Amino acid sequence: MIHISLPDGSKKEIARGASLLDVAAAIGPRLARAAVCALVDGELRDLRERLDKDASVTFYTRGSLQALEVLRHTTTHVMAQAVKRLFPTAILGIGPAIENGFYYDFATEQPLTPEDLSSIEKEMRRIVTEDHPIERLDTALEETREILAAKDERLKLELLDDLEEETAVLYTQGEFVDLCRGPHLKRTGEIKENAFKLLSIAGAYWRGDESRPMLQRIYGTAWESKKDLDGHLENLAQIEARDHRKLIKELDLVSFHEEGGAGLAYWHPKGGRMRVIIEDYWRKLHYEGGYEIVFTPHIGRALLWEASGHLDFYREGMYAPMNVDGQDYYIKPMNCPFHIMIYKSRTRSYRDLPLRWAELGTVYRYERSGTLHGLLRVRGFTQDDAHIFCTPEQIEDEISRVLDFSLNLLSGFGFTEFSVELSVRDPKTPEKYAGEDPMWEQAEVSLVRAIEARGLPYKRMEGEAVFYGPKIDIKIKDALGRAWQLTTIQFDFNLPQRFDMTYIGEDGKEHRPYMVHRALLGAIERFYALLVEHYAGAFPVWLAPVQAVVIPISDRFLEYAQGVVDELRKAGIRVEANFSTGRMNAKIRDAQLQKIPYMLVVGGREQETETVSVRLRTEEDLGARPLAEVIAMILEKTEARSLI
Ligand SMILES: [Zn+2]
Ligand SMILES: [Zn+2]
């Protein structure tokens, strides 16, 4: 007999070799019917698996995330079966469940087309309707090899060679056999035929190895009900419509150029306008918040990067050095050593601290070309960086301030839902970390107090701290409910020591200052991508690159229209004139596509009464208004940084 520990603390005794299904049945018939899979000693298992030793077991029933994962994993097998029916020479790669869906990789003679996807989907529905039982076979390695070799599954054979166990697990459904650990549903008919969909085809290297042939990866999604599927597809459509890579092109904001180099952003006049607004606001808040703004070089001598340790632990992220007067210089991947140089330019007293120095510092880091993604992952970017240097007594107050500062800055851009991750060291291996124990303890206490005082939800991540200090990361939620990590507040017990930074304390002796790195928006480029997606390009008036466009209904009113443009411009409003010869409706449509907040239409009546007819990008019509009133309205929204 073996003992099974259950989540409620109770134990069940069952015969050695019993299956998880037997365990569920021993607990109760209702669980036996509803269970889909089980977590056994931390691993998700198929209910047909047999237990040969004591274990702790948690069952998952339909409706749980784990059950959804099993459903998706089973659906990918059904897809593989359909592919093999339609393309008998296709060779199986791997097919896991992923967040919200699944994929399977195949080696095919010809690339698959979108038309193939719909015929595969049709065949999948047939397999679901055929309702094949899904059988699990624990098979000796040699026998498994023969079965796979007979089917010419050379990629699966490769996986088999890496197995350390003595038996392999095969699953069959109808004529289809696959090497897989599971877990799976019990029958193909448990998949709802109207609750899955194939989404796309992409190339993928076998086992991620660029020297191996490219496989065809089919992505799909599967849900418990058609309603869930439809909700997910709607969400995907929203994500696609808001994709910043599409919008920055359509709205003429930012571009990338293959001939200029991958991952390097070009800011066009309208993107540039917005960037200046973002940066000006950032600078204003920093001065108000007791920061000073510094500027430092883009390159620095190797000496600096040796002292900082970057050449030891970050070299692969840095570009090759350039030789100047016999010295190696590196393009900066970070701003920290430069701010430390400023700190060390004179003797610092405790009376000078805290020092808060911020810089919109442009850095360059090597990212593999496959990971580049629009403005979200680039090779050159501007961090909204700052370093805080303070005494140990000041640290708690400083952490508190910087947290408030971050939340205030982010909510200014319309983000109000935050969550925090606190990364602390692994208490079992204190020797792996720089800095003394009391420093880590104090740092952690000040971080926790600051988070809790603000009632922010947070997750404590033990062992996730980097070796030089604990940190907090703040995530925001965007309009689609997606979480994005922006702010990082990071202690550093390493650099002050490496650069031998000191201040003269009240006791007249030298002390080591505390150093905190913080970036609130993260990188301007990435933050900008997020803004574009959050607002779907329809930016609040204060951020919009063009706030108003003036549209005369015919050439006869050009002079009045020009006067309106001049008045707006004089008031500091970002205005465009559309004096082209097109039809008025086409011009309004164009302004709507450009998501310009105010369209000011002028004709005879407006000219006579010194008014403009105001239309909003939401298609709302405010009618004719005195020009002065419209100017006041736009200015008021701008100055208040109104989000609507
Ligand atoms: Zn499987
Ligand atoms: Zn730094």
CATH no. for residue 577?
3.40.50.800
227 is catalytic: no
- Is residue 244 assigned to a domain? no
Which ligand is in closest contact with the Cα of 136? Answer: 1
Phi/psi of residue 262, nearest 5 degrees? -70, 145
Residues 518 and 566 in one domain: no
Residues 509 and 560 in one domain: no
Residue 283: closest CA among 376, 275, 32, 617 = 275
**Rounded-to-integer distance, Cα 543 and Cα 566, Å:** 21
Q: Ligand 2 centre and the CA of 371: distance in Å? A: 23
- Is residue 365 assigned to a domain? yes
- Is residue 247 assigned to a domain? no
- Is residue 241 assigned to a domain? no
Which ligand is in closest contact with the Cα of 44? Answer: 1
The pLDDT value given to residue 581: 85
3-state secondary structure of 630: helix
**Rounded-to-integer distance, Cα 412 and Cα 272, Å:** 19
365 is catalytic: yes
Out of 336, 348, 390, 607, pick the active-site residue. Answer: 336
- Is residue 114 assigned to a domain? yes
Residue 281: closest CA among 152, 431, 93, 410 = 410
Residues 379 and 490 in one domain: yes
Q: Which residues contact 229 (CB under 8 A, 6 or more apart)?
A: 194, 195, 196, 197, 221, 222, 223
Q: Ligand 1 centre and the CA of 129: distance in Å? A: 19
Q: Which residues contact 593 (CB under 8 A, 6 or more apart)?
A: 250
Residues 222 and 172 in one domain: yes
Distances from the Cα of 371 to the Cαs of 151, 375, 552, in angstroms? Answer: 35, 12, 47
Q: Ligand 1 centre and the CA of 17: distance in Å? A: 22
Which ligand is in closest contact with the Cα of 95? Answer: 1
The pLDDT value given to residue 519: 97
Output the domain CATH number for residue 11: 3.10.20.30
Out of 46, 116, 384, 385, pick the active-site residue. Answer: 385
Residues 486 and 337 in one domain: yes
Strands (E) located in 539-626: 548-552, 575-577, 598-602, 611-616, 621-626
- Is residue 303 assigned to a domain? no
Domain closes at, from 487, 511, 534? 534
471 is catalytic: yes
Which ligand is in closest contact with the Cα of 185? Answer: 1
How buried is residue 581: exposed, middle or buried, by Cβ count under 10 Å (0-12/13-18/19+)? Answer: exposed
Q: Ligand 1 centre and the CA of 126: distance in Å? A: 19
Strands (E) located in 554-620: 575-577, 598-602, 611-616
**Rounded-to-integer distance, Cα 353 and Cα 157, Å:** 65
DSSP state of 556: G
- Look at the block and give the residue holding tokens 């935050």: 418
Residue 381: closest CA among 373, 392, 389 = 373
339 is catalytic: no
Find out whether the peptide bond into 597 is cis, omega within 30 degrees of 0. no
Strands (E) located in 365-497: 380-390, 418-424, 458-462, 471-477, 483-492
Cβ(513)–Cβ(390) under 8 Å?
A: yes
Q: Ligand 2 centre and the CA of 297: distance in Å? A: 15
Q: Ligand 2 centre and the CA of 322: distance in Å? A: 23
Q: Ligand 1 centre and the CA of 177: distance in Å? A: 10
Which ligand is in closest contact with the Cα of 81? Answer: 1
Find out whether the peptide bond into 354 is cis, omega within 30 degrees of 0. yes
Q: Which residues of the chain have pLDDT under 50?
A: none
Which ligand is in closest contact with the Cα of 78? Answer: 1
| Edge-to-edge strand ranges of the sheet holding 134-140 | 134-140, 167-173, 176-179
Q: Ligand 2 centre and the CA of 490: distance in Å? A: 8
Cβ(93)–Cβ(107) under 8 Å?
A: yes
Q: Ligand 2 centre and the CA of 544: distance in Å? A: 31
Residues 37 and 102 in one domain: no
Out of 383, 547, 594, 607, pick the active-site residue. Answer: 383
Report the predicted TM-score, pTM, of the whole model to 2 decimal places: 0.83
Residues 480 and 567 in one domain: no
Out of 471, 518, 526, 587, pick the active-site residue. Answer: 471
**Rounded-to-integer distance, Cα 69 and Cα 98, Å:** 8
Output the domain CATH number for residue 439: 3.30.930.10
How buried is residue 294: exposed, middle or buried, by Cβ count under 10 Å (0-12/13-18/19+)? Answer: middle
Ramachandran quadrant class, 119 (left: phi over 0; alpha: psi -120 to 50; beta: rest): alpha
Residues 381 and 509 in one domain: yes
Residue 295 CA, chain-centre distance (Å), reads 29
Residues 232 and 269 in one domain: no
Q: Which residues pair with 600 in a beta bridge?
A: 550, 614
The pLDDT value given to residue 167: 87
Distances from the Cα of 434 to the Cαs of 300, 440, 466, in angstroms? Answer: 25, 9, 9
226 is catalytic: no
Q: Ligand 1 centre and the CA of 216: distance in Å? A: 18
Element (H, E) at 559: helix 558-570
- Alpha-carbon Rg of the chain, whole angstroms? 31
Residues 77 and 57 in one domain: no
Question: Structure tokens of 503?
Answer: 């201040």
Q: Which residues contact 164 (CB under 8 A, 6 or more apart)?
A: none
Q: Ligand 2 centre and the CA of 234: distance in Å? A: 41
Cβ(333)–Cβ(298) under 8 Å?
A: no
Domain containing residue 228: 66-236
Residues 410 and 462 in one domain: yes
Out of 48, 517, 518, 574, pick the active-site residue. Answer: 517
The pLDDT value given to residue 86: 96
**Rounded-to-integer distance, Cα 70 and Cα 185, Å:** 7
Question: Structure tokens of 129?
Answer: 């309707």
> How big is the CA angle at 284 (ends 280 and 286), to the nearest 5 degrees?
115
Domain count, the chain: 4
**Rounded-to-integer distance, Cα 366 and Cα 317, Å:** 5
**Rounded-to-integer distance, Cα 470 and Cα 488, Å:** 11
Quick count: other Cβ atoms within 10 Å of Cβ 110?
10
Residues 374 and 475 in one domain: yes
DSSP state of 276: H
426 is catalytic: no
The pLDDT value given to residue 369: 85
Q: Ligand 2 centre and the CA of 335: distance in Å? A: 6
Output the domain CATH number for residue 136: 3.30.980.10
- Is residue 8 assigned to a domain? yes
- Is residue 571 assigned to a domain? yes
**Rounded-to-integer distance, Cα 478 and Cα 484, Å:** 8
383 is catalytic: yes
